[in-house]
Amino acid sequence: MTTETETKGVEQTEEKKEEVVKEEVKKEEADANNAEEKADDKAEKADKEKKEEEKKEVKAKKEAPAPKPAVHKQDFEKDVVYLYQFTRTPVLPSLSPYCLKVETWLRLSDLKYENVDHKMKYKSKKGQLPFVEVNGEEIADSAIIIKELGSRYNCEMDSALSAEQRNVAHATVSMIENHFAWVVKWWRCRCPGEWVRAAKLNLQQALNTRIPNAVLNFAFKLRYRQVSARFHHTGSHHPLNLKATVMSDAFSSHEKLKGSCEFVWSRWVVKSWRTKNPAGMLGAYKMDLQQITEKKWPKPVLEFIFKLKFRRAAKKVRAHGIGVHKPEEIEEFGHNDLTVLSDLLGDKQFFFGDNPSTLDVVAFANLAQVAFMDKEVSYSLRDWMTENCSNLVEFCNRIKERAFPDWDEMCNTLDLNSHIPKPPPEEKVEEPTAEKKEEKTKEEEKKEEKDKDDTEKEKAQKDEKEGEKDDNKKAEEKEKEEEKK
């Protein structure tokens, strides 16, 4: 009995274990199914989200506008060079030798270009003027512009030069741009008023401001005086003491060039004069600041600002080192540079023969800053060049006639694009003014009155004739009746 009971208990226990196992198996299966369903749901959701993201990306690509080129001229024409530079003056296409250098090179290279009238608002990413934009790309620095465009459009001016000529050109360009130009800048900073007058510069137009010219002229002179002061507080020359002989043995036959290149200074000589004479510079270039800046501010205000601005330029002259010298010594630097250029040019059309090179372009751009100033403004360096280096003056006129046949037009009108043919002007139909309308109305009234009088007169004459006819007819009838009787 006891054994049966124990057997039944064991069986019941095993059955319960089996049921528990089955329940656990079912639970595990259910959990597995739920996990699979959740995984499937997640996969479906992920696929759905991925498809939606892909749709959004495709839609965004379709709707997204094309990226704009990083240039100021958005509607540019292919292979047209867009030049950004300073404004015109009545005596020079540009008061910047670098701007004049690039434009002269573009013209002599016969490249299609257009000046952008940016009202002095833009500078390159390097903070410079000039700069150009070509096919949506910006190129800054005059030397880099010429090199890049010459290579890109196969119009390198120096391709026919020998190795010796290239070395001479390189050293001479360095002399002009790093020494002679600073003599001119020195004068501009020293006599800003004369410079404005010499350039006939309108500061309001040049600076694109409404400040009166009187204020601008005052500020211009003040700034240039600060610049001038910086000429006298430096202790050494510029570290660029590169000699021509270091660059090439080709200079052994050019003793004057070799000596002049001991300090590569030409550009600084010109700039020194400008920095020392901002007032003189305004007069020398006949600079009308109101016209150049297109502002209605009084000229004294514009000249004040203009001269004030030149004080910063004096810092550069001071850093260069030319400012430690006496005025007569700085002018002597300029005389030496001009003598070197005059001897190198000789009686040739251009420095290396009958065709202009990059050296000719650089020389013209810097010499023009002196040669074409208003004759009424005194400038000793210009007078010395005219008297002692007449071939350089003839050279400037030669380049001027060759590259700028529209020189007079651009200087008189200050048109940035006088080289581009203009469409014929449309004939304007003059609208009648109030006075003309009144005269016309009076004439029409007189005509109407006259026509009315003529009509009434004709009617009266007609009535009179008809009356006479009736009277004659009655008289005839009466005569006939009397005859019958």
Q: What is the pLDDT of residues 277-300, one digit of tens each?
A: 666 666 666 666 666 666 667 777
CA-based nearest residue to 318, from 240, 227, 248: 227
Give me the mean pLDDT over the 422-443 stretch: 66
- What is this structure's pTM? 0.64
Q: Are the C-beta atoms of residues 355 and 265 closer than 8 Å to each other?
A: no
For residue 57, count CB atoms less than 10 angstroms from its CB and return exposed for 0-12, middle for 13-18, buried for 19 or more: exposed
Q: Is residue 465 part of a domain?
A: no
Q: Are the C-beta atoms of residues 296 and 210 closer than 8 Å to each other?
A: yes
Q: Is residue 336 part of a domain?
A: yes
92 and 182 in a single domain? The answer is no
204 and 106 in a single domain? The answer is no
Domain that holds residue 148: 81-152
Dist CA 262 CA 257 (whole Å): 9
- Give the per-residue pLDDT at 433: 60
186: pLDDT confidence band, cut at 50, 70 and 90? confident
267 and 371 in a single domain? The answer is yes
207 and 122 in a single domain? The answer is no
Contacts for 370 with CB less than 8 Å, ≥ 6 apart: 184, 270, 379, 381, 382, 385
231: pLDDT confidence band, cut at 50, 70 and 90? very low
- pLDDT tens-digit series, residues 60-102: 666 555 555 577 888 889 999 999 999 899 999 999 999 999 9
CA atoms within 13 A on the CB side of 135: 5
Q: Residue 94 sits in a domain of what CATH number?
A: 3.40.30.10
385 and 266 in a single domain? The answer is yes
DSSP at 115: E
For residue 19, count CB atoms less than 10 angstroms from its CB and return exposed for 0-12, middle for 13-18, buried for 19 or more: exposed
DSSP at 422: P
- Give the per-residue pLDDT at 243: 35
Q: Is residue 469 part of a domain?
A: no
Q: Assign residue 200 a region: left if phi > 0, alpha if psi is -120 to 50, beta otherwise?
A: left
391, 409, 427 - which closes a domain: 409
Q: Is residue 479 part of a domain?
A: no
The amino acid occupying position 59 is K
298 and 395 in a single domain? The answer is yes
390 and 260 in a single domain? The answer is yes
Q: Assign residue 332 a region: left if phi > 0, alpha if psi is -120 to 50, beta otherwise?
A: alpha
405 and 345 in a single domain? The answer is yes
- pLDDT tens-digit series, residues 152-183: 999 999 999 999 999 999 999 999 999 999 88
Q: Is residue 429 part of a domain?
A: no
Q: Is residue 395 part of a domain?
A: yes
138 and 171 in a single domain? The answer is no
The arrangement of strands across the sheet holding 137-140 comes to 113-115, 81-84, 131-134, 137-140
207 and 352 in a single domain? The answer is yes
Q: Is residue 88 part of a domain?
A: yes
Q: Is residue 1 part of a domain?
A: no
50 and 197 in a single domain? The answer is no
409, 429, 444 - which closes a domain: 409
- Give the per-residue pLDDT at 346: 96
- Give the per-residue pLDDT at 282: 66
148 and 172 in a single domain? The answer is no
How many domains are there within the chain? Answer: 3
Is the pLDDT higher at 477 or at 318? 477
pLDDT of residue 45 exceeding 90? no
